[in-house]
Amino acid sequence: MREPIDSVEVRIQAVKIPTYGVGQPQKNPLFLEKRVYQGSSGAVYPYPVIERIEGTKTEKEYKAIFLENRYLLIMLLPELGGRVQMALDKTNNYHFIYYNRVIKPALVGLTGPWISGGIEFNWPQHHRPTTFSPVDYRIEEGMDGSKTVWMGEIEAMYHLKSVAGFRLYPDRAYLEIDVRLYNPTPFPQTFLWWANPAVHANEDYQSIFPPDVHAVLDHGKRAVSTFPIATGVYYKVDYSPGTDISRYKNIPVPTSYMAYHSDFDFLGCYDHGRRAGMLHVANHHIVPGKKQWTWGNGDFGRMWDRQLTDEDGPYVELMCGAFTDNQPDFSWLQPGEEKHFTQIFMPFKGIGGVKNASKDAAINIEIENNVASLGVFLSSPRQVTVILRAGAEILLEERCWLSPENWLERVVPLPAGVKAQEVTLSVSEEGRELVSFTPLPQERPEPPAPATPAPPPAEVASNEELFLHGLHLEQYRHATYDPEAYYREALRRDPLDSRCHNALGLRRLRQGQFAEAEHCFRRAIERLTFRNPNPYDGEPFYNLGLALKYQGRFAEAFDAFYKATWNAAWQDAAYFELAQIESRRQRRERALELLGQALERNQRHHNARHLRVALLRHLTQPDMARKEAAQGVALDPLAYGLHYERFLLDGDPTFETLAEGDVSLYLTLALSYAHAGLFEEATRLLEKAPQHHPMVHYYRGWIFWQAGDTLNADLAFQRGAAASPDYCFPNEIECVPTLTTAMERLPFDARAPYYLGLFLYAHRVHEQAIALWERSAALDPNFPTVHRNLGLAYMNQRKDAARSGAAYRRAFALDPNDARIFFELDQLDKRLGKAPAERLAQLSAHLDLVHQRDDLMLEYATLLNIAGRHEDALNALLSHTFHPWEGGEGKVSGQYVLALVEMAKEALQRGQTEAALEYLLRARVYPENLAEGKLPNAAENHIDYYLGLAYGQAGDEARSKEHFLRATQGTIELSLAMYYNDRPSDMAFYCGLAHAALGEPEKAEALFHQLIAYGEAQMEERPLIDYFAVSLPDFLVFEDDLPRRNRVHCLYLKGLGWLGLGKTQKAALALDAALALDPSHVGAVLHRRMIDADLLSWLKKQTQHTLYG
């Protein structure tokens, strides 16, 4: 056994962890423009997506970094998103953070794989796009004996930088995380930060929210519950008359809730069985977010537990949000801005719940029957004074030595008549209060009203509100509402609205549409300066400078940036841009002065400091350069540019260690040098970058071209054109002038228009992207990906089904082994109403591809069910191991249940009662290979109805009646089902049949008429995707035609209603109309088949002898 450690140890160690593998990243670019993910846009370009999880486990070696002191042992995994993998309280051998001993990913993450356990850090949106990817790290030792592991990255979606320092002190039982979030781009960007610690959950688990949390909110603040005692319906669970939802054992379904408001700095949990827990402590003014998530303790949750771990059981996530209090809830980072905050994670023990906590101490006080039970826990050894007061009277004053191993528990009688709100417990050290608490008043404020969707633009009252609605949609990265619709409506009403012109200009700027952006900014300035030339807001001048700069009009840009410095808010960003232009002009001393002015305004403008060091080096002031670099690295330990400058100055190897072949990092740094006219440094970096990546060469060409070296520019462009296009998804704004120049210099290069089309399509400049891809396809007709992209664009943007189909078939002919293209081709065929038999034949001809993808196997099984080959469908499902995707639950199990119910129906008609009962009872239990669990309120009216028939056929009238009664239960939801927990509307049909079987024809007919009435009333409605959607079950390839889908749904319900009433001719007309619009509508196919087989008459005969009146 190791001796206690009186200092902090940090060590890098290879560890072997059992790991389930994942598939290769998808080489086709995925744009996912309407994907809803965690309440925001699920678009992930330029990241490739991994769509496959392997079922085999191997021992895999990881580079782990351990931090350890006498109290704690922390394991960090920089290879997996910089997560905390393990956090152990050594004093009681308690993992105060969920320790998952296996790496078992599931398709939960923004880009695919996600693992449970540890502490994940979600940024710049939830879940972190690089949660399953490596990050950079450095280790530092503090003067106070602390050790810090810095981990971070520049993410590729918005080019934002995060750095988190994981710090242990020698004598403190907590992990301190020092977080720095920086915007190195010239544009305002939005972000959220949620630390996501998981904790072990069991029957004794309780989440501890601060005592002033009386209401919790769902994602997007769309629903509200009282807390901790829920009294109404939340996540479709009725918690009345009152249920404690702070207890894991009381939550049966997947559930999120986030604190509405708290003035306390802590969030935690406690295992009452282990008498141990975890606390998060942070300044609530900066880190207000307090959230719990659980999969629920039912069959559904247990299935997810099995998918995410082998042996470590259920968990709860206790998320802690900085600059955010909900998901989604984004804040702004301005150009050159850094936000800085600290989060503390600490174990505690022995004192039960917690009423208040700081990083130094946690306290609890429970008052019952006029007796106060109190507990005090300290995170480090101290001599403290514990005082319990009732008004002015001191009831307890105890001076004691406490530590993480020795806590205090006391029971103190209270004087008669003392109210709880008069009692105060405090802990102090030498007169300095560490923490205190006075019980809060009993009255509970009214819970807040849920949020409401943005109204249509035409219904918004004022231009200011239109602007704010549009800005909100941008800020929250809304997946389905278009902010431009609000800006354009405002400009229709007031053609010179400066706010909306500026907002539109920024959108054009981000899209690389620089001339259009310039026009918008000039219109904004026209309004702002109509009374005087010196407006209150200088942002449009700054943005105009950017639009001019990217057009190469540096003199005009210089004037615009200087005007922006007249407003303090834009001085640091504008001075930095001015310095870059002066550096390009070789006016380096003047550039240094401007950088000094930028740093006076913002000493954490890391780009300015980087350029300042580079210019000092150029001006042969190496000592000053070294000093500035040291200052910068102290502020940003992962200052890549400064580490590269140290390499140039003294050969320091840190940069090469950090870069480790990261193409994106090389490109980012090279472009930062190029903007300042430091072309030699830029080209040198690109020469060191991995040479397989096409943009390395294209950017070298652009830099040579700017330097006037057209020969080397053309050679570099040629190398870019010749490089492999796999995984090249350009996302830097500079790719627009770069690739435009490449096309001008090499007009027969097929790749430059392809890459520029990727950027433009990802940024919703669709028509230009299509034109560029058509140019690329004409120059190289044998490149499958460009045809696939055109197929996607023709359908989604132009609704041109013929050209889309032709492009997809060309792509698949060129690469018949690409399962993704084959899947998209089948989805297109489905969308266009191709006959299910033809689709089934096509899938059957390529079963090798079908077996590669869960979604293709699901389509295959569905088509087998449509074809009436239910046993084949069942066998296909049972022969394949599925892996779930969050939000897509219910699809695989739905086909499993359908196959068995249909087989049971056939058995009943043949008089094979025992077989029918076996099929129906099997349908209630999902095999593990389907990777789906059942919700406690799962709709199984159809199963119960046929069980009623089967037991009736078997002569068991008691069970028959029992199941018919069950089949009448449950709410009636007739709207189009969108989510995994929505109740299928056709359950109302079986509810009606069950009422008829029970001798209740009035109730049955009422339900059937309700189906018809809903279908007729809603037929012409134009539904929208739920404004507050958190995630949708379909990973949409093609934009959904919701009006058409709604029409099909309404026709289907009318068909069911007429069928229930015995009006088979009307039912057939309605179902045929539905199938004409959607031949692959499973429900319509099966119930149309019931009419052809006259099955309803048979069903009525079966129930005539069992009319339970």
Distances from the Cα of 914 to the Cα of 889, 910, 1105, angstroms: 30, 11, 20
What is residue 334's predicted lDDT score, i.e. its pLDDT? 98
What is the distance between the alpha carbons of residues 296 and 303, in angstroms, rounded to a whole number?
Answer: 10
What is residue 1024's predicted lDDT score, i.e. its pLDDT? 82
- 688, exposed or middle or buried, with CB in 10 Å at 0-12, 13-18, 19+? middle
Residues 286-330 pLDDT 10s: 999 999 999 999 999 999 999 999 999 999 999 999 999 999 999
What is residue 23's predicted lDDT score, i.e. its pLDDT? 96
| Residue 50 per-residue DSSP state | B
What is residue 1107's predicted lDDT score, i.e. its pLDDT? 47
3-state SS assignment for residue 867: coil
Residue stretches of the chain with pLDDT short of 70: 1-5, 1032-1035, 1104-1109
What is residue 979's predicted lDDT score, i.e. its pLDDT? 80
Reading the block at residue 655, the tokens are 């940069």
| Residue 456 per-residue DSSP state | P
Residues 166-206 pLDDT 10s: 999 999 999 999 999 999 999 999 999 999 999 999 999 99
What is residue 1026's predicted lDDT score, i.e. its pLDDT? 83
What is residue 980's predicted lDDT score, i.e. its pLDDT? 82
| All CATH 2.70.98.10 domain ranges in the chain, comma separated | 9-348
What is the distance between the alpha carbons of residues 276 and 16, in angstroms, rounded to a whole number?
Answer: 29
Q: Taking the CB of residue 881, how many other CB atoms lie within 10 A of it?
A: 14
| All CATH 2.60.40 domain ranges in the chain, comma separated | 370-437
Torsion angle of C-alpha atoms 227, 230, 233, 236, degrees rounded to 10: 80
For residue 13, give the nearest of 63, 61, 72, 80 by alpha carbon.
Answer: 63
- State which CATH number among 2.60.40, 3.40.50, 1.10.357, 1.50.10 fits the domain covering 370-437: 2.60.40
Contacts made by residues 974-977, CB under 8 angstroms, sequence distance 24+: 974/1010, 974/1011, 974/1014, 974/1053, 975/1018, 976/1023, 976/1045, 976/1046, 976/1049
- 1105, exposed or middle or buried, with CB in 10 Å at 0-12, 13-18, 19+? exposed
Which ranges of 262-359 does DSSP label H, i.e. alpha helix? 299-308
Spell out the SS3 assignment of 978-1032: CCCCCCCCCHHHHHHHHHHHCCCHHHHHHHHHHHHHHHHHHCCCCCCCCCCCCEC
Give Cα 899 to chain centroid, integer Å: 34
Residues 683-731 pLDDT 10s: 999 999 999 999 999 999 999 999 999 999 999 999 999 999 999 999 9
What is residue 725's predicted lDDT score, i.e. its pLDDT? 98
Distances from the Cα of 53 to the Cα of 309, 319, 772, 931, angstroms: 14, 26, 35, 12
What is the distance between the alpha carbons of residues 4 and 173, in angstroms, rounded to a whole number?
Answer: 13
What is residue 5's predicted lDDT score, i.e. its pLDDT? 67
What's the CATH architecture for 9-348?
A: Distorted Sandwich (2.70)
What is residue 1108's predicted lDDT score, i.e. its pLDDT? 47
| Residue 552 per-residue DSSP state | T
Distances from the Cα of 225 to the Cα of 203, 208, 341, 380, 664, angstroms: 22, 16, 30, 37, 44
Question: Bridge-partner residues for 375, per DSSP?
Answer: 364, 409
